[in-house]
Amino acid sequence: MFFGYEFYYWLGWFVITVLAAKKYGYLGLFIAHLIIFVSVFVSDLHYVSQIMSQPEWDGNPDLDITFLLGVIFRTAVINGLLLPVGVLGKYFHNKVNAAEV
């Protein structure tokens, strides 16, 4: 696990970022980052809800403002790590468009 997520999450985010940037350029890169934000939020929400439903839950973690700030921070770091991948996808977008002209 890297940064708390399994390999298949990272693989999916990588593919989404490259394909979106390759297909739609900077707009695709923005859309990919939004999709990644939603997937991180849903994943973390599921994880915390699962912990909260256990009988031995002691009140930590819970769904408060700290949770939301943590999700935003994690998403910013993940999207920052995937930004070079998106730029590479944008580069391929430019090459494909230049070849079509």
Q: Which residues pair with 2 in a beta bridge?
A: 5
pLDDT at residue number 12:
92
pLDDT at residue number 95:
66
pLDDT at residue number 89:
81
pLDDT at residue number 96:
58
User: Along the chain (101 residues), what's the average pLDDT of each consecutive run of 10 residues?
Assistant: 76 91 87 92 86 80 81 90 86 65 52
HSE, side-chain direction, 13 A CA sphere, residue 47: 13
pLDDT at residue number 25:
84
Please choose, from the candidates 37, 32, 20, the residue with its C-alpha nearest in 3D space to the C-alpha of residue 90. Answer: 20
pLDDT at residue number 1:
47
